[in-house]
Structure 1
Amino acid sequence: MRRLLLPKGADGHVLPLLVGRALRAFADGYVAVLLPVYLLALGFDTWQVGFLSSATLLGTAATTLAVGAWGHRFQHRRLLLAAALLMALTGFAFAAQSAFWPLLLIAFFGTLNPSSGDVSLFVPLEHARLAEAAHGEARTALFARYSLLGSLFAALGALAVAWPDRLVLMAGLDRLDALRAMFALYGLQGGLVWLLYRRLPALHGDKSPPPQPLGPSRAVVLKLAALFSVDSFAGGLAVNSLLALWLFKRFDLSLAAAGSFFFWAGLLTATSQLAAPRLARRIGLLNTMVFTHIPANLCLIGAALSPGLETAIGLLLLRSLLSQMDVPARGAFVMSVVTPQERAAAASFTAVPRSLASAVSPTLGGVLIAAGWLDVPLVACGALKIAYDLTLWVAFRRFSARF
């Protein structure tokens, strides 16, 4: 297992992080699809679904900002253990509540993820550890394995959206209780992640510099953060929860069929992660980020304008094959342009604006869908992301030869 997960030249101490990433991704895979179903089953309106999705991302931004500002004062292992404990509490609390305002508070302070990517306070802490565990091409390969596990297990998690219906048939539960059981399972997985992270070493290696707040790299990090926020605002218009809602409303897709779609979409995304390091070696990290992203967003716009389900699904699957190839390249790029001491802070400060920006757009997307403008969020998402890609390339193309 160690040989399969770790690229040559990577430190084995990050193995629990990779396994923990897989567990979290599996949970995120079914939560993203079941979240709107559960909230609608509780009697909430479409705009409330979008509002709660926004609350999850806004709360994530707040906790991630706290990690970036003050996390260097604490051991990363302790912060990761606290994050895993929060994940466990989030799942059990969400399963126990039915009223809007308690769920809103849990969504804000908890770790639920309504998107296809990993937006959580785990990210800056894990990225800093990964960056210390490898160098050069091995670092890009390690980030690719990290993203691959996330995509693969998120795809497997999407298949689990069929479990509530099976619980109804096999265990005699009503549908709402079956949905609650899935959020309780999310809490159990948080407990498993906590057990895994207990195996992490308490201290950084002797040769690893102690983490520090942003300093020499502040200007480049702020520029990247601003650009990433545009990308994330756009992505928030088509997070998995809203994309599932779009499929339900536009094509009357069943829950089982939606689960199958998100499984294959995730599987294609996972497959693409294997190609990302090789592509980055050939054309560079920046070009990998940009020139795989633009076609993916053209596919999203095409899917939104498609007259039939088959064409829309085909374009969305093609988008899935391309849209996340930039993720390992982006993580490695950010870690490459900052000093080692600033890596945790840089990962946090590039993640926070993304979470803040993406926190606003699900509410907007939910309102547009509720108003009957089903396709507008997807078209706007694709157009804004293409604008981000072009701006990023123009702003950083002079560095592309270095990374």
Structure 2
Amino acid sequence: MRVSIIRLYVARGLRGFADGFAIIILPAYMTELGYDAVAVGLIATASLLGTAVLTLGVGMIAPRRDLRLLMLLGAGLMSATGLVFPNVGHLVLIAVVAFIGTINPSAGDLGVLVPLEHAMLARGAADQDRTRVFARYSLIGALSAAAGSLASSLPEFLTAAGVANLAALRLMFYLYAALGVASAILYRRLPTTQAQQQSHAPLGPSRRTVYKLAILFSVDAFAGGFVVQSLLALWLFQRFDLSLAQAGLFFFWSSTLSAFSYPVAAWLAKRVGLVNTMVFTHIPSSVFLILAAFAPNLYVALGLLLLRAALSQMDVPTRTSYVMAVVTPAERPAAASVTAVPRSLASAISPAIAGALLTTTFSGLPLVICGALKIAYDLALLFSFRHIKPPEETS
């Protein structure tokens, strides 16, 4: 199982690298085609809605299917997305590909492959190691996304070498497809593994807990949808005239700070608990985001956003570990999916709203709304789950 975990880590790194440049290339590509912020928001919504539908379907069948096969199918869909996306130009067709495909406008823990990888990782991790395993998984994903952010500047180098700008952007989508193939090769080498067979519903004794978590996580995701990284990049492009290379550098450092917060989160969770770690690192990050909306210049805005990045993702490995801890092993694939799907659905609503808000006189309004809603979510999570402890905190 240790070898399988390493292969999952590597696959997560490849996908993280792909997402790292895709979230920046997507708004640049849409802008090059002549579309505005509203259109970018609509495509982000279509992508997240499709992710939710697909993740729900996979989560419901995963307890009775070979996880390895499902991951291979997901990697195949990633490759197909990268091949088709740059060959469509009409907004409706782009929306269809975004809905069906795997382009993720919000780099992180959303996507059809995420709950499958979570379930397989949880199978091989003891209670005392589980948070650390997920922290490493998130660390690798974030560092890879940081490297992918730097790679988003490649079109500018290609353009300087004589390649048309639109063609250079399309090449990045083909690279995305190639990384999907590489992920499939890694998944193919995993052992054939089925989740535990069960004759009852995918969720059993933990159903009420999972549904409560799913509702709260959807509030967090709805808030996050106002500043998905594609739209945050667009805000920086429009508000401060940031170049593609500069945006890539910023998101590199943003992802790097997020990456190194993951092992800190695992260390902190052992001392203050998973729920406390989620809440008391999240609230300050939301305050920094709200302040960034009122930043008088680029340097202040970037500084506040980097401070936010250092704290905002510390709830990712702790949240995943907590969900896996408070359900039975047989429920883990369904729990991962059921908590992920509302996140995708909720986050799919707000980008379209945010895209419209970016065109108003106060373009920082999506940042303010996001921060305020996230603070409300954190307080609700603390109130609802502070007494429900995972096994490692009760032993």
- Whether TM-score is above 0.5 comes out as yes
2:381 to 387, 392, 400: 392
Q: Deviations over 1:337-387 (max 9, x none)?
A: 000000000000000000000001000000111233311100000000000
Whether 1:198 aligns to 2:225 is no
2:121 and 2:16 mapped to 1: Cα distance?
A: 17
Alignment RMSD: 1.3
1:253 and 1:308 mapped to 2: Cα distance?
A: 12
Q: TM-score under structure 1 normalisation?
A: 0.95
SS of the residue aligned with 2:296?
A: coil
1:391 and 1:12 mapped to 2: Cα distance?
A: 39
Whether 1:263 aligns to 2:263 is no
Q: Which residue of 1 is the match for residue 6 of structure 2?
A: 15
Question: 1:18-29 maps to which residues of 2 (within 5 A)?
Answer: 18-29=9-20
Q: Which residue of 2 is the match for residue 350 of structure 1?
A: 339
Question: 1:137-156 maps to which residues of 2 (within 5 A)?
Answer: 137-156=128-147
Query: Is contact 1:287-1:400 (8 Å) kept?
Result: no
CA shift for structure 1 position 203: 2.2
2:166 and 2:32 mapped to 1: Cα distance?
A: 7
Q: Which residue of 2 is the match for residue 32 of structure 1?
A: 23
Question: 1:308-347 maps to which residues of 2 (within 5 A)?
Answer: 308-347=297-336
Question: 1:135-284 maps to which residues of 2 (within 5 A)?
Answer: 135-170=126-161, 172-204=162-194, 209-210=196-197, 213-284=202-273
Q: Deviations over 1:157-216 (max 9, x none)?
A: 00011100111122x210000000000110011011011100010125xxx743660111
Query: Is contact 1:167-1:178 (8 Å) kept?
Result: yes
2:362 and 2:347 mapped to 1: Cα distance?
A: 20
1:97 and 1:123 mapped to 2: Cα distance?
A: 27
1:370 to 350, 359, 377: 359
Question: Identical aligned pairs, as a percentage?
Answer: 54
2:193 and 2:25 mapped to 1: Cα distance?
A: 38
Higher alpha-carbon deviation: 109-118 or 79-88: 109-118
Q: Which residue of 2 is the match for residue 78 of structure 1?
A: 69
Query: Is contact 2:130-2:321 (8 Å) kept?
Result: yes
Higher alpha-carbon deviation: 118-127 or 70-79: 70-79
1:14 and 1:162 mapped to 2: Cα distance?
A: 31
Query: Is contact 1:50-1:364 (8 Å) kept?
Result: yes
Structure 1 segments unaligned to the other structure (5+ residues): 1-9
2:388 and 2:169 mapped to 1: Cα distance?
A: 48
Q: Which residue of 2 is the match for residue 120 of structure 1?
A: 111
Higher alpha-carbon deviation: 89-98 or 392-401: 392-401
Query: Is contact 2:64-2:196 (8 Å) kept?
Result: no
Q: Which residue of 1 is the match for residue 279 of structure 2?
A: 290
Q: Deviations over 1:238-282 (max 9, x none)?
A: 010010011111111111111110000111111111211110100
1:372 and 1:59 mapped to 2: Cα distance?
A: 31
Query: Is contact 1:115-1:241 (8 Å) kept?
Result: yes
2:83 and 2:337 mapped to 1: Cα distance?
A: 27
Whether 1:90 aligns to 2:60 is no
Q: Which residue of 2 is the match for residue 5 of structure 1?
A: none
Query: Is contact 1:214-1:342 (8 Å) kept?
Result: yes
Higher alpha-carbon deviation: 111-120 or 144-153: 111-120
2:45 and 2:362 mapped to 1: Cα distance?
A: 19
Structure 2 segments unaligned to the other structure (5+ residues): none
Query: Is contact 1:11-1:134 (8 Å) kept?
Result: no
CA shift for structure 1 position 72: 2.1
1:219 and 1:294 mapped to 2: Cα distance?
A: 26
1:401 and 1:174 mapped to 2: Cα distance?
A: 54
CA shift for structure 1 position 105: 0.7
Q: TM-score under structure 2 normalisation?
A: 0.96
Residue type matched to 1:68 in 2?
G
Query: Is contact 1:246-1:374 (8 Å) kept?
Result: yes
2:121 to 120, 130, 133: 130
SS of the residue aligned with 1:398?
A: coil
2:203 and 2:262 mapped to 1: Cα distance?
A: 29
Equivalences, count: 390
SS of the residue aligned with 1:119?
A: coil
1:210 and 1:133 mapped to 2: Cα distance?
A: 17
